[in-house]
């Protein structure tokens, strides 16, 4: 079994593993089986959201795995339709119930939806929920610098995490610098950069051959060396194990640079610019 001997310390004093498991779109019995095998392989952080409609399955996988509750972090997200303060609070309480846990380990705002201008209210609800103990760590997802500065100015509370699209075609250098400046940990969704993956690119394929690992492992190792916490999803036990096994080799500076240079102006997977793309 792979072990996770690298952790990131967050700005609220808690720690998270260097890698988490993405659970979308795993659902039903098949989904529970995939999440249980991920836990058995060594993942200790599961990423879900109200909108993935699988919070029950995430909680069930944890219970079936037999792993002590305190060893696993469950992370969920408040959707756009619940940004008003009271609705956001209710959303968190409902998530805890569906997950079957007393305290949510990590709660994020899923998208800022700036045209509605309610994300500052959702953040106030998260800050209050943390004070009340309903949530341990609070953060955001798909926030730009402007969104981050607004909620920090409003409340004096800096998110511990910002979960954003990040992969070799979209390396988010400027936003990662902003996170470093503000003390926010970068979390990466679609870390493998699917549709298409960059696995065939010489920068990735050559490094894979040089280190005797798979292209997916090279991309995940690139995340680790950037200080980004990737959340790869796989329904397959063998790939779950492969994706965890990235601490036994190191990419050179040249290899890191070549992978980051795969950036494209249209690198986003589906045009998910948080200033314009909104999800309810």
Ligand X SMILES: NC(=O)c1ccc[n+]([C@@H]2O[C@H](COP(=O)([O-])OP(=O)(O)OC[C@H]3O[C@@H](n4cnc5c(N)ncnc54)[C@H](OP(=O)(O)O)[C@@H]3O)[C@@H](O)[C@H]2O)c1
Question: Where does this chain bind ligand X (CB under 6 A)?
Answer: 22-24, 47, 110, 141-142, 163, 189-192, 194, 214, 216, 231-236, 239, 242-243
Alpha helical stretches, state H, 53-165: 55-65, 85-99, 119-132, 145-155
Nearer to ligand X, 89 or 223 (CB): 223
Nearer to ligand X, 98 or 133 (CB): 98
Nearer to ligand X, 10 or 50 (CB): 50
User: Alpha-carbon distance 56 to 60, whole Å?
Assistant: 6
Inter-residue contact 130 to 138 (CB < 8 Å): yes
Active site includes 52? Answer: yes
Q: How far is the CB of 181 from ligand X (least distance, A)?
A: 22
Query: 43, 45, 52, 119: which is the annotated catalytic residue?
Result: 52
Give residues with Cβ within 8 angstroms of 266, minimum separation 6: none
Give residues with Cβ within 8 angstroms of 182, minimum separation 6: 148, 152, 158
Phi, psi (deg, nearest 5) at residue 84: -60, 145
Tokens, residue 61: 């996988």
How far the first Cα of the chain sits from its last, in Å, is 38
Q: How far is the CB of 243 from ligand X (least distance, A)?
A: 5
Residue nearest to ligand X (CB): 22
User: Sign of torsion, CA 60 66 69 71?
Assistant: negative
Q: How far is the CB of 45 from ligand X (least distance, A)?
A: 10
Nearer to ligand X, 131 or 194 (CB): 194
Q: How far is the CB of 49 from ligand X (least distance, A)?
A: 7
Which residues belong to the active site? 52
């Amino acid at each position: 079994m792979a072990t996770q001997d690298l952790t990131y310390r967050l700005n609220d004093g808690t720690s998270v593993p260097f890698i988490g498991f993405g659970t979308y779109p795993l659902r039903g019995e098949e989904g529970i089986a995939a999440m249980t095998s991920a836990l058995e392989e060594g993942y200790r952080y599961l990423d879900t959201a109200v909108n993935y409609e699988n919070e029950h399955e995430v909680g069930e996988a944890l219970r079936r795995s037999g792993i002590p509750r305190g060893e696993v972090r469950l992370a969920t997200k408040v959707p756009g339709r619940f940004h008003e303060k009271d609705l956001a609070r209710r959303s968190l309480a409902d998530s805890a119930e569906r997950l079957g846990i007393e305290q949510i380990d990590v709660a994020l705002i899923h998208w800022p939806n700036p045209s509605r201008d309610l994300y500052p209210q959702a953040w106030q609800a998260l800050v209050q929920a943390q004070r009340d103990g309903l949530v341990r760590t609070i953060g955001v997802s798909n926030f730009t610098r402007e969104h981050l500065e607004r909620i920090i100015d409003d409340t004096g509370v800096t998110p511990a995490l910002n979960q954003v699209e990040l992969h070799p075609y979209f390396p988010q250098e400027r936003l990662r610098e902003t996170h470093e400046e503000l003390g926010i940990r970068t979390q990466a969704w679609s870390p493998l950069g699917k549709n298409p993956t960059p696995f065939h690119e010489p920068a990735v394929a050559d490094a894979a051959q040089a280190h005797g690992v798979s292209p997916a492992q090279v991309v995940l190792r690139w995340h680790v060396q950037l200080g980004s916490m990737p959340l790869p999803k796989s329904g397959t036990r063998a790939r779950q194990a492969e994706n965890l096994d990235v601490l036994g080799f190191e990419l050179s500076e040249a290899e890191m640079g070549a992978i980051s240079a795969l950036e494209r102006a249209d690198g986003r997977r589906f045009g998910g610019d948080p200033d314009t793309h909104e999800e309810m």
